[in-house]
Chains A and B, each alone.
Chain A
Amino acid sequence: MTSPSSGEAVAKSSSGGLGWLLEQRVLLSIAVLAVLPWLLPSQALAVNVLIYGVVVMGYNLLFGYTGLLSFGQAAFFGAGAYFTGIAIGRYGVPWFAAVPIAVLLSTCLAAAIGIVSTRTRGIYFSMVTLALAQLVYYVALQASSVTGGENGLRGFTVDRINLFGFPVNFLDPVNKYYVLMAFAALAMWFQSRILNSPFGAVIEAIRENEQRARACGYDVERSKLIVFMLSGAISSLGGCMLALHLSIVPLDLLHYQTSGMIVMMVLLGGARSFFGPFVGAASFLILEDVISVWTPHWQLFVGAIFVLFVLFLPKGIWGTLLDTLRVGKARP
């Protein structure tokens, strides 16, 4: 029989060009995002796709790849945004330092929520994450001297930034988009890194069969906690991007409706696919944009479309598309 390395090569070449393309997923995704402002009707929409895409991508690590349905991802999205705003506005930290600080603090929050929630399973996990995320919401609401309470966090702006010696006008939408895209690219590289690693195999094994993963010698609880933290870290980076973009942090970011929206986006785009979260975020935001022009009850229509997706396209837009291409190419 062939050696494993040549076996691997055979397996790859049999899927043809698609297999090669999928290996370049980070570069391809960056290429698509780079032209996004010219594909979408508005720059503002493109920036939102970028931000929500990163948040949903982080969530996909938890939901799509590990199979943990959390209803509390808004906590980390919001935490990233609040920590960034507070660091800049209250402590005068420069923006490029505020982002890693915010991600680090949000990851600590994810550790705290993860320690409690990953001990539970199934519906209990969903409910515990929901409850703890709501706790974060009420803390932000009550601690108004720090967070601005109901009015959201204000009083910090990032207008001119210094990029390796070059002053850049951050109020210019194109500049802003590409600076934020660099963060999205970093997040995508990191996500791809995790998925390609041995740990990426562990979380998939846990999703497929928790009991067997444990019998194979994996500490399932510890692995779930680690992936919960990694997922929170990536989603919080989306929050940092939002704070830099808006220069305010609305309290609603922490609300459970945001968590629900994140779940809808990942299902629309396709859980368990690398680029699906960006497709899901784009579809959701475009639907919202288009339908809210002619009716204030846009959520009704988005909800109906969502239900149709769950019923007829459970793999989402991107997941279904990839499946179709695979069936066409593979299996000689």
Chain B
Amino acid sequence: MSGELLRVEGIGKHFGGFVALEGISVSFAAGQLTSIIGPNGAGKSTFFNILSGALTPTSGKLHFRGRELNGLPQHRFVHQGISRSYQITNIFPDLSVHENVRVAAQALTVSYDIWRDRARLTELNARADTALEAVGLLAKRGELAKFLSHGQQRALEIAIALVSEPQLLLLDEPTAGMGPEETKDMVALLERLAEKRTVLLVEHKMKMVLGLSKRVVVLHHGRLLADGAPDEIRSNPEVRRVYLGQSEGYG
């Protein structure tokens, strides 16, 4: 399982005079879980927003499966095979759990059809149920999403991203705000996901990241600080200085 999936070439992002990202060049191979870490304000979220099309980079290029993504509107990114979840739970609260995922599955095929019955699109319904089963939410399919627990909403968040069968799955702090029990479930889910897909993960919980990832990319002040296997990152003095030392308590 090799072959380059995503190549980032000299990506930079400026907000007015503020430099959020500068000269990031990195490439991601298919079929592994890579984590992106860094202290608050390191530019992780900006980087993720660029990879998912929510922000347009000020400079640099994105190549995905040999195609340049620059200039593509955000809603086309999913159609290219890049799907994301959000750090702050971002679901459709007043729709059922099943409909949350079904509507995401539908985006790739029948958006503007007004002549068919959505209840009869059985293939989409089945795909939504498969995604719900993968995150352990099938039993809750009929409930309104807003009535789920926080941990369940985080899992739904991932099911929404997963149902488009993305080549690249971007997960922004999937364990944000979770207790230890819920975090354990989520880690198990991430391990299952990483068996079959290419996953990019932004996380704060250091131990979790180092145990889970094949590779870790460290950002600091908008620049690439280190890039390597978890063991290398753990022993990298630069990384220890800016990140590990100060966040030992993060667990």
Instruction: Give me the interface of A with B, judged by CB distance under 8 Å.
Output: 1, 3-5, 7-8, 11, 14, 193-194, 196-202, 204-205, 208-209, 211-220, 223, 226, 230
Contact = CB atoms under 8 A, between A and B. Distances in A.
A196 B118 contact: yes
A70 B77 CA distance: 30
A215 B113 contact: no
A7 B74 contact: no
Contact of A208 (B75, B77, B94, B142): B94
A198 B92 contact: no
20 contacts: A1-B133, A5-B122, A197-B114, A197-B118, A198-B106, A198-B111, A199-B111, A199-B114, A202-B107, A204-B92, A204-B95, A205-B92, A205-B95, A205-B103, A208-B92, A208-B95, A216-B160, A217-B79, A217-B111, A218-B75
B113 A209 contact: no
Contact of B75 (A4, A14, A214, A230): A214
- Interface footprint category on B: 35 or more
B87 interface: no
A216 B109 CA distance: 12
Contact of A201 (B106, B115, B122): B106
Contact of A4 (B106, B112, B125): B125
Contact of A217 (B108, B116, B141): B108
B62 to A, nearest CB: 16
Given A11-B142, A201-B118, A218-B111, A4 B92 contact: no
A193 B114 contact: yes
Contacts of B74: 214-215
A212 B160 CA distance: 9
7 closest residue pairs by CB, A with B: A217-B78, A217-B107, A208-B92, A4-B125, A197-B114, A216-B104, A198-B110
Contacts of B86: 212, 215
Contacts of A197: 113-118
A215 B117 CA distance: 24
A149 B48 CA distance: 57
A7 B125 CA distance: 10
Contact of B112 (A3, A8, A14, A226): A226
Given A7-B129, A196-B117, A215-B75, 8 more contacts: A1-B133, A198-B121, A199-B111, A209-B92, A213-B92, A216-B164, A217-B107, A226-B112
A201 B84 contact: no
A218 to B, nearest CB: 5
B126 A217 contact: no
Given A199-B114, A202-B111, A223-B111, A216 B93 contact: no
Contacts of A7: 129, 141
A246 B122 CA distance: 47
A212 B92 contact: yes
Given A193-B115, A217-B107, A201 B102 contact: yes
Contact of A194 (B83, B99, B114): B114
A218 B114 CA distance: 15
B90 interface: yes
Given A1-B138, A7-B129, A212-B91, A219 B75 contact: yes
A318 B49 CA distance: 42
B29 interface: no
A202 B84 CA distance: 19
B119 interface: yes
A4 B122 contact: yes
Contact of B103 (A14, A194, A216, A230): A216
